[in-house]
Structure 1
Amino acid sequence: MDEVLLLGKTQEGTEFSIPKKALRKHVVTLGASGSGKTVFCKCIIEESVRNSIPAIIIDPQGDIASLAIPGKETEIESKGTSKNLLEDYKQKAEVRIFTPASKKGLGLSVNPLKIPSNLTDEEERIRTIDLMSSSVVRLINYDMETEAGKASNAFLFKLLQAGMKRGTPITDLETLANYVDKPDLLININEADSMLNKKERDRLSKNIRFLTTGVEQLLFSIGSSVNMDLFLTPVTPGKVPVNIIYLNTLNKDEHKQFFVTMIGNEIYNWMLSHPKEDVQLIFYIDEVSTYLPPHPRNPPAKEILKLLFKQARKYGVSCMMSTQNPSDIDYKAMSQAATWALGRMMTEQDKSKIDALLISMNSGSTDRRSVVDALSTLKPGEFIIVSPDYYDKPQRVKTRWLVTEHRTLEEETLRDYIDDKIETVLDKKGTQKTTQGSNQVNPQNTQNLPIGSNITPTPSNYGRTPEYLCATCRTRLEYIYQYRRWYCRGCNKYL
């Protein structure tokens, strides 16, 4: 296959495409409601599947989930799209619809205290600990701009950092609450008192424990835990995973922010240890303005999204976002993109923003003026594509007809559109923990590692080196050299 993405036709009726490598420098799609921006982005996802690029997609409204429903061949051909594109998509796409804190789709959970396996750089360690502490503080509804929120964040950071340094990292909320009750087990009590007094610590530990009961606990317990192995490993070998994170199962905005933050952080930590020259993943957020607004607004997900837009291209991760108005999203993040799809815009404010963006992209003055003037004349599905790396002039394009249905899926119907095999395998994974990363024990080096009473070596079979299993849950153990301790992912604790 030619490494291009077929996106539609120009005004002259010729096919329009962009090279796959254009994705590496990110894509931004802008347009008023009804302009067709979500269809355009779904077209890119369909084409990425045909080019064997997996995707992780944040779907806040249920519009993206219908990528799981192939279109009708007769309708597709009648609209000018080749049935070969449909067949290619059906053969390659493995669409999974994940539902955070719910089993209405494929259940998905997160652990806010998860430690990346490749955490060796001190700067990244500090960033990770800060994300852990701030995520917990926000989940218990502390305002990070207040003195109480800042003090609680600093206190939790200190505990988590001390745990890591002593080789006993805190990896679950109950343990964290216990250390909040008894901080002197990790840090000097006078230091603890200087940040939070006893009454404030009691309140903090109580609120953390609330996260482990009732509806809140579903965030951390339902289904598979967020990890890149889950997202990138196809159930059927040779298929291309399309992972749709369906946010409608979350009722609170802070929970949606939390999930987007954790997924963004998972992608970031993974890409640092998996750099690639070619595009290896698309991370797409539909209607991104809630998570990446301009200054001075600073929601929880904003920091990690800005970091991804700034650095992901170096590691072969393409970031793609859509929103209605250019003034809705952070300018610095938006300016990282090198390919723009501009749909219908009516207000002078939006047009002036586009004019400024085109100036920053060194678009010629004549083309720039004609682009801005044309924005209000665009019909639904029409876009002006600005991609200076590959096209000397902006291109006016009509988006091709999708090879999948375009409609909103309600959460009660999601299971109807998840393949039975995917459902069986990934639902089963929801009760297991995956093992990955550089901390796994090399079987050739296990003979001299410390073995305690809760560690069981398996019998040697046919001359193979024994593995070491947790005596409680029989999960294969990892030896974390950084902390000189065995770790069980099944029990989620150090032994």
Structure 2
Amino acid sequence: MQDSEQPSRPEFEKPGTFYLGRDYNVGLSQAGETPLLYDSQNLTTHAVCVGMTGSGKTGLCISLLEEAALNGIPAICIDPKGDLGNLLLAFPELRPGDFQPWVDPSVASRKGVSAEELAQQTAELWKSGLAKWDEDGNRIQRYVDRVDRAIYTPGSSAGLPLTVLKSFDAPPQAVLDDADALNDRIQGAASGLLALLGITADAVTSREHILLSNVLGQAWRDGRSLDLAGLIHEIQQPPFKRVGVVDLDTFFPAKDRLEFGMRLNNLLASPSFASWLEGESLDVQRLLYTAENKPRLSIISIAHLTDAERMFFVTILLNEVIAWMRSQPGTGSLRAILYMDEVFGFFPPTANPPAKRPMLTLLKQARAYGLGCVLATQNPVDLDYKGLSNAGTWFLGRLQTERDKARVIEGLEGASAEAGASFNRKEMEATLAALDNRVFVMNNVHASGPQVFQTRWALSYLAGPLTRSQISTLMADRKRPAGSASAAPSAAPATSPPSDASPESPASAPVPQRRTLNSAASSRPVLSADITQRYWPLDDSVKPAAGERLTYRPGLFAVGRLHFIRASDGVDVWRDFAALQPVHGELPQPLWETSQIMAERPTLLDEPEPSAAYGDLPSEMAVERNYRRWDDDLKNHVYQSERLTLWECAEFDERSLPNESDEAFRQRLLPEVIKRVEKEVDEAESAVSESRWWFFSGAWQALARAAEIILVRVFGGRSRKQLMTASMSNQMKKGWDKSAEAKSQLREKLRDLERLKRLMAPPGEEVDADVEPLHELKLTKIEVPPRKGDIEVQPVSLAWLPWWIGDDGAARTAY
């Protein structure tokens, strides 16, 4: 009886099998009964997961990591958003009390229920959801028991802290003996550190990069490890006198080396960097296995870091993974997984950020060592598909734009060609266009063709991105004990701390003292009165956490007007705009490339919040004449980037209003569409009347012929056909078919008319654009650029943006 209730359970529990979902019929929008079973060995050729927000991408990737855990396969998961911490929210008993600390109280408030009631509903939802996919609490218990799960937070003490000091240690002998591997390690360490300093450096042309690479290379070849203090010293006084064929002082004068070293010193002295020196050393083997050799699921949360800090850490981590990988024996089986969520910005198609090179190395070489790389993103346009041609499996969910689909298909073609597999572009385009939420197409070069499937129910509770306080709660018990490495994985691996030391302060390093922002960063800069300063208002919904201090960071702000004019289309529209460019470290180049352009002008304040601190101000922003130059830069930027979008419906000879969306435009055309459908209904009714005439005409003639035959039989007469002729039968059939078809069409038109009339709602209400007559309404998109000579920009001002800065240096916006 149990086998009949769960016929597929034994199949998807087989070792080496990942149960990801069930087959899905796109045409019927319905999941089947056949489980999608993914061979774990296929993951050694890597995987890419792409899907827009709401596609179910996070749920699929979490399910994949759960399956790896159930198979005893460890994973290192880089988490830029905070979603992967949900892997720790696994509750085998599925009790409401387990869910209650993690349900969103605001959701309960909107639903008009208490948090306890919402937790009860959530527990029931998870229990029923698991049952539909032949899962239960026993499977969750196996998942919990099989792997150790931990959240690491480099640069923060919210989770288990990681120190980066080890990243400048001499690499293992296997790397030193491999010239290419050593060069990659040197380039990665130098690029990552320079990125943290805000220096965009090319390995061939940047003298900072060349000097730093030579210093690291010399030390490592000599078998010497460097900490930051030692690195600063060797930058100022390198152990060599020439760089290439050029004298050292000619290539990089002593004065400039001193200035460069001081930038590193400022980093080391920064209170925000102190947290980078705490915690467990960045050891890949310890991230993958506990001291007892139990597989570990290590989630490395970097959501709290700045972009530069993220790039620095990810680069260092990937180089550590490469070093670990090359120390392992070769294998054809899946040994471990490296997963990165939201790879946007780390693997772009044209630029070469520091993290890209080691990531390419892993994609090309990790297969031989049994390391599977899984990359996920909701921004498919920002991926280097040439590099991703090494990926053998692609999980594709709903995509937002045609451009996204085109880029993904381009990448699929490259991957299929690389693997020597066939690829049907038209079929893939049609499949991608029909995907629903939680429905993905898997293109696996190891399979016979693409497979469409719906993702299974996750074992872990998907609570959304975890906050730092929630991460701290999850990791509290792991940080509290001061015992063995298994009990306190953040303790130093080589040295046991003294009995009065905590795992956060290993014996190999002094306990860092809590530090405050220095006076240079805290005091308000003294600037020329000609520079207009404004203050962005605080967002009252963003409350400070314990230990956080309000700090203003600089930005550039301006307002203006755009004139969109095109006589041929009858367009003559003025539109206001506001531009905000936050500044972190150095000014971005091009200046306004990453700015936020807003349609509404926010109201800024003339005075700051009392007792607020101030971040560093780039020297260029203290020079008044630069602001006039930045006015022109902004004009050029909005001229290149801003467009007025209009929609035209040729059928009704109508055009949308400025800033009117296509959905709102369809709503406005609704009365005309109704008139058209009403006309079609009238035509359908006429067709029904005509078809009825055909049917009854044939029927009366058939009855007359039958009566004639009966009379002939009764009274005798010459021989005649005893049945209705074929022409009569055909006429009746034809009339019947035409009548049925006309009635069907009439019913369909009446349904459309009824749905359309229900859509007659007040302006501003959401329109159901899936109603067929509205959906089929053909609209032409018209984009009008602003007229360059009419662009108006008021003087750019210095805008101070509020941030909450914690004692550990972690920052979050307060606006």
For Structure 1 versus Structure 2, the TM-score category normalised by the shorter chain is 0.7 to 0.9
1:209 maps to 2:259 = no
Range that drifts further, 36-45 or 71-80:
71-80
Q: Deviations over 1:52-79 (max 9, x none)?
A: 1000001011111110011464544411
Q: Deviations over 1:429-476 (max 9, x none)?
A: 5452549xxxxxxxxxxxxxxxxxxxxxxxxxxxxxxxxxxxxxxxxx
Q: Deviations over 1:266-301 (max 9, x none)?
A: 110011110341111100000112211111x22221
Q: How does 1:190-209 map to 2 (within 5 A)?
A: 191-209=247-265
In 2: Cα distance, 1:97 partner to 1:67 partner: 10
**Normalising by structure 2, what TM-score?**
0.50
* Residue aligning to 2:554: none
1:115 maps to 2:142 = no
Q: Which has the higher contact order (CA 8 A, sep 6+)?
A: 1
In 2: Cα distance, 1:339 partner to 1:175 partner: 44
Q: Residue 188 of structure 2 aligns to which amino acid in structure 1?
A: L
Q: Deviations over 1:117-173 (max 9, x none)?
A: 2322233223323333333333222231499x71122122223333344x3625111
Q: How does 1:444-463 map to 2 (within 5 A)?
A: none
> Superposition RMSD on alpha carbons, in Å?
2.6
Deviation at 1:260, TM superposition (A): 0.6
In 2: Cα distance, 1:13 partner to 1:232 partner: 35
Contact in 2 for aligned 1:210/1:216 (Cα 8 Å): no
SS at match of 2:72: coil
Change (3 A) 1:233 1:434: farther
Give unmatched runs, 5+ long, in structure 1.
Answer: 436-488
* Residue aligning to 2:232: 177
Change (3 A) 1:142 1:110: same
* Residue aligning to 1:247: 302
* Residue aligning to 1:65: 85
SS at match of 2:148: strand
Change (3 A) 1:146 1:385: closer
Deviation at 1:419, TM superposition (A): 7.2
- Seq. identity, %: 29
Runs of 4+ aligned structure 1 residues displaced above 6 Å come to none
Q: Residue 406 of structure 2 aligns to which amino acid in structure 1?
A: S
* Residue aligning to 2:683: none
SS at match of 1:392: coil
* Residue aligning to 1:356: 410
Contact in 2 for aligned 1:155/1:195 (Cα 8 Å): no
Q: Residue 222 of structure 1 aligns to which amino acid in structure 2?
A: E
Q: Residue 22 of structure 2 aligns to which amino acid in structure 1?
A: K
1:25 maps to 2:25 = no
In 2: Cα distance, 1:4 partner to 1:191 partner: 60
Contact in 1 for aligned 2:188/2:355 (Cα 8 Å): no
SS at match of 1:14: strand
Q: Residue 88 of structure 2 aligns to which amino acid in structure 1?
A: A
Change (3 A) 1:491 1:85: closer
In 2: Cα distance, 1:393 partner to 1:352 partner: 19
Q: Residue 266 of structure 2 aligns to which amino acid in structure 1?
A: F
* Residue aligning to 1:347: 401
Q: Residue 5 of structure 1 aligns to which amino acid in structure 2?
A: F
Matched length: 431
* Residue aligning to 1:260: 314
Deviation at 1:211, TM superposition (A): 2.2
Change (3 A) 1:247 1:239: same
* Residue aligning to 2:360: 306
Q: Deviations over 1:44-100 (max 9, x none)?
A: 000000111000001011111110011464544411231132121121131100011
Q: Residue 54 of structure 1 aligns to which amino acid in structure 2?
A: P
Contact in 1 for aligned 2:170/2:220 (Cα 8 Å): no
Change (3 A) 1:359 1:172: closer
Deviation at 1:402, TM superposition (A): 0.3
Contact in 1 for aligned 2:479/2:488 (Cα 8 Å): no
Change (3 A) 1:416 1:429: closer
* Residue aligning to 2:323: 269
Contact in 1 for aligned 2:203/2:210 (Cα 8 Å): no
Change (3 A) 1:163 1:93: closer
Change (3 A) 1:430 1:211: farther
* Residue aligning to 1:445: none
Change (3 A) 1:225 1:375: same
Change (3 A) 1:299 1:15: same
Q: Deviations over 1:217-248 (max 9, x none)?
A: 3354121111123212226x464300001002
In 1: Cα distance, 2:320 partner to 2:373 partner: 14
* Residue aligning to 2:373: 319
Larger Rg over CA atoms: 2
Q: Residue 306 of structure 1 aligns to which amino acid in structure 2?
A: L
Give unmatched runs, 5+ long, in structure 2.
Answer: 1-13, 25-31, 95-123, 496-506, 511-815
User: Which among 14, 17, 23 is matched to residue 34 of structure 2?
Assistant: 14
Q: Residue 55 of structure 1 aligns to which amino acid in structure 2?
A: A
Deviation at 1:387, TM superposition (A): 1.1
Q: Deviations over 1:385-433 (max 9, x none)?
A: 11131x3121110100000011221011113223735763568554525
**Normalising by structure 1, what TM-score?**
0.81
* Residue aligning to 1:46: 66
* Residue aligning to 1:156: 212
Contact in 2 for aligned 1:106/1:423 (Cα 8 Å): no
In 1: Cα distance, 2:290 partner to 2:23 partner: 35
Q: Residue 287 of structure 1 aligns to which amino acid in structure 2?
A: E
Deviation at 1:306, TM superposition (A): 1.2
